[in-house]
Amino acid sequence: MSAPPFLSLVLTGRNDDYGGSFVSRFFRVLAFNLELLAERQLSTEVVLVEWCPTPGRALLGERLRDALPARFRERVTTYVVDNRYQDAMSLNPQLEYLEFVAKNVGIQRATGQYLLTTNTDLILSAAMGRALASGTLQPRCVYRANRIDLKLGIDDSTLHHELLDNPDNHVPRRPIAPPLYAGAAGDFTLLDRETFHQLRGFNEIYRMVRIGVDHNFLVKAQSSGVAIADIGPPIYHVAHLASYQTSKHIASRDQAHRRWGRVWHNHDVIYDNREDWGLRDAPIERLSDGIWKLGFDWRAVPPLVDLHRIVLPGMTPPNG
Amino acid sequence: MSRHDTPARRRSGIELLRSGYGAAIVLSGSSVSPMFSGLLGLFGLARAAHLHAATERVNTLKAQVADARQRNEAARRDATQRKQQAAEANDRVAAATQEVERWKGKVAAFRDKRERLKQAEQVIALTRGHLLTMETKLDVLEGAITVLDRRTRNSVDYPAGESTGKAPAPTTPS
């Protein structure tokens, strides 16, 4: 049995052309990030959660395996989640993707010493590679990073550090600030695996939204005595039409509710996930090399309503 | 030569002086021997120089007494004034002490109010937290009801003739 990797990249996505040319962008970004981490000799695994794949389309995991350079293929494990989980778990029929439940599936199964939950279009900077390899990461500390948006329409067909680090290509954005270092937290949440498990991942009690769940995790971490820090170097994000930052201004109210859900009390009210968070008890079967299927079983589905698990920060949560 | 045997005195000869308790003849001269002085003493007489010296001493003592009386008077006045000042100062201290006590009372009252405000703020924060928690729980309940409603509608298939949207039959009073 090989030693667990230092870092697990936890990602979620599906082959649905989200944001246009999703798949090609994802593959390009992932290959770039893996190359950067390999240069720093960081042992890395990729945990991809393919949440409720679009029927009739090839699996994203399969396409990824075919597209990635051979040296990276064995580092990727894909968990394909049965489509029925979306309907069984959602508390908002308009919402199409339970992103943070999907990420919890990955966090529950990742084996790395540190887990970086991020998104498929987030690019690590060279400085970030150095920071991750510096040996200075501490357990019980959520590391956050400033996200730099690259200008919409920039040619990102070939990624390289000169393109990313050039300030002319950046869109100004308010920097993250203490105490929570919040702001697009879903793009970069780095924490040791043990603490991630102690906190039981992201909120999967309030399964009604996609926005603010990352912020809510920071509130929970802070109220649980876990430190939060800015890791220093930035990450890059190539703007696209479907990204929240771009489309929140142009989407209709109905569209916004469907994509992200409505505004909620994510700064004030936290959660205490059940012990079987992240579909822990879902039956699993191997589809092919590195691709696993989480089959549907009602026993793996948390109850629709679990009100005593909605708590205030600082209040003693119930035992799992 | 003693300081009383001035040339003027030597020239003055015998002077007669009357003291407070009897007459005395005073002789003045530089050549009076101690034996003569003793002899004069037998007759109740004294040398003029001695008389002068005694008079001077008396005058000096009188002046000193007057001066002492004056000083005593001044000291008495001063003491009276100081007593008055002390009494005034005592009054002021008493008033200031009273003021301090009054302010102490006010400060204690302010502290008490501040403490109660803090407690009220904590209660408000906690109440607000509970309110937000309740709203969040209501969100979840609403979501669950919506989901269950949808599931019910999808699972229950009514035959075409059994529309539930029919208006109820009018009721007539019996």
Please report the pLDDT score of residue A286 as a whole number.
98
Helix A213-223 / helix A99-109 crossing angle, nearest 10 deg: 50
ipTM above 0.95, yes or no: no
Residues 6+ apart with CB under 8 A from A6: A42, A43, A44, A112, A113, A114
Amino acid symbol at A173: R
Residue of A nearest to B141 (CA): A305
**Mutation for testing the B interface, residue in A91, A209, A273, A301 having most B CBs under 10 Å:** A91
d(CA A253, CA A88): 25
d(CA A151, CA A164): 10
Residue B54 maps to a domain: yes
Please report the pLDDT score of residue A21 as a whole number.
77
Residue B29 maps to a domain: yes
> B172: part of which helix (H) or strand (E)?
none
Contact indicator for A118, A145 with CB cutoff of 8 Å: no
Residue B61 maps to a domain: yes
Question: Which residues in chain B have Cβ-Cβ distances shorter than 8 Å to A268?
Answer: 128-129, 132
Q: B148 to chain A nearest CA, in Å?
A: 9
- Tokens standing for residue B98: 């009273």
Please report the pLDDT score of residue A135 as a whole number.
95
Question: Which residues in chain B have Cβ-Cβ distances shorter than 8 Å to A304?
Answer: 143-144, 147-148
The parent domain of residue B38 ranges over: 13-69
Q: What is the secondary structure of B35-79 as a DSSP string?
A: HHHHHHHHTT-EEHHHHHHHHHHHHHHHHHHHHHHHHHHHHHHHH
> A198: part of which helix (H) or strand (E)?
helix A193-199
Q: Are strands B22-27 and B15-19 parallel, antiparallel or unpaired?
A: antiparallel
* CA distances to B11, B22, B46, B61 from B18, in Å: 20, 6, 12, 20
d(CA A190, CA A142): 6
Residue of B nearest to A87 (CA): B147
Closest residue to B143, CB basis, from A92, A269, A310: A92
Question: Which neighbouring-strand residues pair with B25?
Answer: B16
Interchain CB contact of B134 with A (< 8 Å): no
Please report the pLDDT score of residue A164 as a whole number.
92
Q: B39, B41, B66, B42: which is closest to B51 by C-alpha?
A: B41
- The residues spanned by each domain of chain A are 7-300
- Tokens standing for residue A90: 């959602």
| pTM of the shown model | 0.77
For the four alpha carbons of B133, A117, A280 and A294, in that order, the dihedral sign comes to: positive
Interchain CB contact of B127 with A (< 8 Å): no
Q: 3-class SS at A150?
A: strand
Question: Which residues in chain A have Cβ-Cβ distances shorter than 8 Å to B129?
Answer: 268-269, 312
Domain A7-300 carries which CATH code?
3.90.550
Please report the pLDDT score of residue B22 as a whole number.
47
Interchain CB contact of A92 with B (< 8 Å): yes
Interchain CB contact of A94 with B (< 8 Å): no
The answer to whether the CB atoms of B132 and A206 lie below 8 A apart is no
Please report the pLDDT score of residue A16 as a whole number.
82
Please report the pLDDT score of residue A319 as a whole number.
46
Residue B159 maps to a domain: no
Contact indicator for B5, B48 with CB cutoff of 8 Å: no
Q: 3-class SS at B154?
A: helix
d(CA A208, CA B137): 12
d(CA A160, CA A28): 11
Total structural domains within chain B = 1
Interchain CB contact of A163 with B (< 8 Å): no
pLDDT (tens digit per residue) in B86-124: 999 999 999 999 999 999 999 999 999 999 999 999 999
Q: What is the 3-state secondary structure (H, E, C) of A160-195?
A: CHHHHHCHHHEECCCCCCCCCCCCCHHHEEEEEHHH
Q: A50, A65, A58, A57: which is closest to A11 by C-alpha?
A: A50
Interchain CB contact of A245 with B (< 8 Å): no
Please report the pLDDT score of residue B75 as a whole number.
95
Spans of chain B, pLDDT less than 50 = 1-3, 9-14, 16-24, 168, 170-174
Closest residue to A206, CB basis, from B140, B146, B147: B140
Q: What is the secondary structure of A76-95 as a DSSP string?
A: EEEEEEPTHHHHHH-S-TT-
Q: What is the pLDDT along chain A (320 residues), one digit of tens a residue?
A: 578 999 999 999 998 876 667 888 899 999 999 999 999 999 999 999 999 998 999 999 999 999 999 999 999 999 999 999 999 999 998 888 999 999 999 999 999 999 999 999 999 999 999 999 999 999 999 999 999 999 887 877 788 898 899 999 999 889 999 999 998 878 999 999 999 999 999 999 999 998 999 999 999 999 999 999 999 999 999 876 656 655 566 677 777 777 778 889 999 999 999 999 999 999 999 999 999 999 999 999 999 999 999 999 987 554 44
* CA distances to A51, A85, A212, A218 from A261, in Å: 18, 18, 10, 19
Q: A172, A169, A268: which is closest to A215 by C-alpha?
A: A268
> B129: part of which helix (H) or strand (E)?
helix B48-155
**Mutation for testing the A interface, residue in B126, B134, B139 having most A CBs under 10 Å:** B139
